[in-house]
Chain A
Amino acid sequence: MRFELRELPPETEALRREVRAFLAGALGALPPARRAFTWSGFDPAFSRAVAARGWIGMTWPERYGGGGRSALERYVVLEEMLVAGAPVGAHWVGDRQSGPLLLRFGTEEQRRRFLPRICGGELFFCIGMSEPDSGSDLASIRARAARTRGGWIANGTKLWTTGAHLCDVMIALFRTSGGADGRHAGLSQILVDLHGPGVTVRTIRDLAGHEHFCEVVFEDAFIPDDMLVGAEGAGWDQVMAELAYERSGPERYLSCYPLLAELVRVLPDPPGERAAVAVGRQVAHLATLRQMSISVAGMLEAGRNPALEAALVKDVGGVFEQALPGVAQSLVDIEPRAGAGASDFQQVLAHCVQHAPSFSLRGGTREILRGIIARGLGLR
Chain B
Amino acid sequence: MLEDAVTRLFAERVTKERIEAAERGDWQDDLWRAVEDAGLARPLLSEDAGGAGGSWLEAHVVLRASGYHCVPLPLGETVLASWLLARAGIPVPVGPLTVLPAPIAPGRLAAGCLTAEVADVPWGRHAGHAVLVVADPGAGAAGAGAAPAGGSPAPGALEVGMIARADGVAIRPAENVAREPRDTLVFDAAPLLARRPAALPADAVRLFGALVRSAQMAGALATLLDQAVRYAGERVQFGRPIGKFQVIQHMLAELAGAVAAAGIAAEAACRAAAAEGDPRFEIAVAKTLIGGAVDRATGIAHQVHGAIGFTYEHGLHFATRRLWSWRAEFGSDAAWAAALGHAAIARGADTLWPDLTARGRSAPRERR
Contact = CB atoms under 8 A, between A and B. Distances in A.
B264 A280 contact: no
Chain B contact-residue range equals 35 or more
B229 interface: yes
B290 to A, nearest CB: 9
A367 B367 CA distance: 41
B243 A270 contact: no
Contacts of A291: 264-265, 268
Contact of B253 (A270, A279, A285, A370): A370
Interface string B257-291: 11111011101100100000000011011101100
Contact of A261 (B258, B282, B353): B353
B153 interface: no
Contacts of B244: 379-380
A315 B267 CA distance: 21
B288 A280 contact: yes
B359 A7 contact: yes
Interface in A129-164: none
Interface in B139-185: none
B264 A5 contact: yes
A1 B222 CA distance: 10
A265 B348 CA distance: 6
Contact of A270 (B263, B285, B337, B346): B346
A142 B51 CA distance: 66
B344 A315 contact: no
A374 B250 contact: yes
Contacts of A295: 264
B252 A377 contact: yes
A315 B256 CA distance: 10
Contact of A279 (B225, B254, B345, B357): B345
A281 B344 contact: no
B341 A279 contact: yes
A278 to B, nearest CB: 7
A292 B285 CA distance: 14
B352 interface: yes
Interface string A360-380: 000000010111011011111
B252 A3 contact: no
A316 interface: yes
A378 B233 contact: yes
B356 A287 contact: yes
A292 B267 CA distance: 11
Interface string B218-251: 0000000100010011000000000110101110
Interface of B: 225, 229, 232-233, 243-244, 246, 248-250, 252-254, 256-261, 263-265, 267-268, 271, 281-282, 284-286, 288-289, 292, 333-334, 336-342, 344-346, 348-350, 352-353, 356-357, 359, 367
Q: 3 closest Cβ contacts across the A-B interface? A: A280-B337, A280-B341, A280-B340
